[in-house]
Amino acid sequence: MAPLTAIALSGGIDSAVAALRLKAAGEKLLALHFITGHEPADRMADHHGRLERLAARLGVALAVIDCRGAFQREVVDYFVDSYRLGRTPNPCVRCNARIKFGVVLQQALALGASRLATGHYARKERDAAGRFHLYKGIDRRKDQSYFLARLTQDQLQRAVFPLGRLTKAEVQRQAAEASLMGRPGRESQDICFVPRGDYAGFLTGTGRLTAAPGPIVDVHGRQLGRHRGLHAFTVGQRRGIDCPGPAPYYVVRIDAARNTLVVGSPTDLMAAGCRVSDVRWLQPPVADTLRVSVRLRYRSAEQPARVTIETGPAATVRFDAPLAAVTPGQCAVFYRGEEVLGAGWIESSLAS
């Protein structure tokens, strides 16, 4: 009997074309759609109807997985608690490791599938020793290897990325040729569970975070004004500081212990490196010190750096040239050329 592959079907064009390509390759498919509990209630019925029609068009059975409890614990609570601690979280990295390739993968296995496919733009290969390697998608503007960098070997072993060797334009063309979707809309850049991108409103609305006004100081400790709550800021931010000065101020540091916002000039934002915790290596490091390219946010450019591996598992990253706005809570992803080596969470910056 042919092995069963599950496809995480969101209703969007990428997962639809991923399913289409697997069907064309002769794969036996089961479509899985997971509910987070943060879908717009007034659109749930319409969305489920579209999913059913899409699954029928693809010729696959559709199962709905209730992830509301796990999503709240693993993603939403993490998101809110990070801001409460003065950090800027990355819920998409967290969701891929804990929900899509955690809860959803386990449900897929329980339903008889041996693998889980998604619409991510990334590539995977297996070497002669049986280890799996994660690579960037060939469409550099859509590459999503950054969001997958904290998968384990076991998770990567069961992952399938049918779009890794396609561009977005090719995906749109294949969807149109198969009449899978209507006219594609603009892709949202917002976090899926934050309505209209209103982070501050969402955070205070959860009841887990209370906006607490406090001082705004410069890097020398001189008070410049007052903020309405640290949750409204991230390192590198300029808007919303509202302190008059000879030049614009930028957020340099968020001191949650003292409820203080530290601001300064662009020069004050520069860092020589960062400390990283909970490092997860997809490939075992070959030495205690590695030359890598590091990406500190999804949309930031990779930068050459030296990583020194410490216990914990932790690491110290030193950039070849100083970088601006190194942000605690974000994910530092280490690359060697096209390949993802590993990733960890930024704890603090190193002074330049």
How do residues 281-311 score in pLDDT, each as one tens digit? 999 998 999 999 999 999 999 999 999 999 8
Q: What amino acid is encoded at 292 in this protein?
A: V
**For the chain, where do the domains classified as CATH 3.40.50.620 start and end?**
4-177
| pTM reported for the whole predicted model | 0.94
What class is the 269-351 domain? mainly beta
Give residues with Cβ within 8 angstroms of 74, minimum separation 6.
94, 95, 98, 99, 102, 103
HSE (side-chain half, CA atoms, 13 Å) at 11: 18
pLDDT at 352 over 90: no
**For the chain, where do the domains classified as CATH 2.40.30.10 start and end?**
269-351
pLDDT at 176 over 60: yes
Q: Which residues belong to the active site?
A: 95, 192
pLDDT at 183 over 60: no
pLDDT band at 44 (very low <50, low <70, confident <90, very high): confident
Question: What pLDDT is stored for residue 42 in this prediction?
Answer: 75
Give which of 107, 95, 34, 102 is closest to 65, Cα–Cα.
Answer: 34
Question: What pLDDT is stored for residue 328 in this prediction?
Answer: 98
Question: What pLDDT is stored for residue 71 in this prediction?
Answer: 98
Average pLDDT, stretch 328-350?
Answer: 98
**Poorest-pLDDT segment among 5-9, 254-258, 348-352:** 348-352
Residue 347: φ, ψ to 5°: -100, -40
pLDDT band at 184 (very low <50, low <70, confident <90, very high): low
The pLDDT tens digits of the residues spanning 201-246 come to: 999 999 999 999 999 999 999 999 999 999 999 999 999 999 998 9
Q: How far apart are CA 228 and CA 243, in angstroms?
A: 13
Give the 3-state secondary structure percentages of the chain, helix then strand then coil, rounded to 5: 30, 30, 40
Q: What percent of the chain has pLDDT over 90?
A: 89
**In what helix (H) or strand (E) does residue 44 lie, and over which residues does it extend?**
helix 44-58
Phi-psi region of 108 (alpha: psi -120 to 50; beta: other; left: phi over 0): alpha
Question: What pLDDT is stored for residue 197 in this prediction?
Answer: 84
pLDDT band at 14 (very low <50, low <70, confident <90, very high): very high
Average pLDDT, stretch 114-137?
Answer: 97
**For the chain, where do the domains classified as CATH 2.30.30.280 start and end?**
211-264
The rounded Cα 16 to chain-centroid distance in angstroms is 21
Per the CATH hierarchy, to which homologous superfamily does domain 4-177 belong? Answer: HUPs (3.40.50.620)
pLDDT at 187 over 70: no
Domain 211-264 has CATH 3.50.50.60: no
